Amino acid sequence: AQSVTQPDIHITVSEGASLELRCNYSYGATPYLFWYVQSPGQGLQLLLKYFSGDTLVQGIKGFEAEFKRSQSSFNLRKPSVHWSDAAEYFCAVGSNQAGTALIFGKGTTLSVSS
C-alpha cells in the first residue's frame, strides 16, 4: 500500500537549535517527494521537492531534505530554527503520472521554545 509515515506527532525545539523531521514512505513507483508547511488556518506552502538527481535538496527558509532510497526516507532538516518556523509540517509523495494526487503523512507539529 502507498503511504507516508511521519513518526513524530509533535516536536519541540529550542530557538537556534537544529531540527530534523522524519518522513518514511511506501510507494510502488518512482516517488516524487515533497515537504509542505502549514501555519494555523492557512493553506500549504511548498518548502522543497525531490524529483531526481542530487539527493540533497535545498528549499526555502533555510530548509533542506535528503532522499535516501535504501531507507525509503526523506527527512527534513534545518540547522538553526527560528521562532517563526513553528507550524505544521507535512511530507507527501506522488508520481509523475498525470491525474494522480499526492499522498500526505499525518503531519508533525513543530513548537519552538525560547
- Contact positions toward other proteins, by CB under 8 A? 32, 34, 36, 41-46, 49, 51, 90, 94-107
- If the CB atoms of residues 15 and 102 are measured against other proteins, the closer one turns out to be 102
- All three cell numbers of 106, joined, read 499525518
CA distance 19 to 15: 10
Between 46 and 56, CB nearer to other proteins: 46
Which residue shows C-alpha cell 524529483?
51
The count of C-alpha atoms lying within 13 angstroms of the C-alpha of 76, restricted to the half-sphere facing its C-beta, is 30
* Residue closer to other proteins (CB basis): 28 or 43: 43
Nearer to other proteins, 49 or 77 (CB): 49
Q: Torsion angle, CA of 89/94/100/104, rounded to 10 degrees?
A: -30
Q: How far is the CB of 16 from other proteins (least distance, A)?
A: 27
**Residue 102 C-beta: closest distance to other proteins, Å:** 6
What is the nearest approach in angstroms of other proteins to the Cβ of residue 94? 4
C-alpha cell at 46: 511548498
Q: What's the closest the beta carbon of residue 101 comes to other proteins, in angstroms?
A: 5
Distance CA 18, CA 36 (A): 18
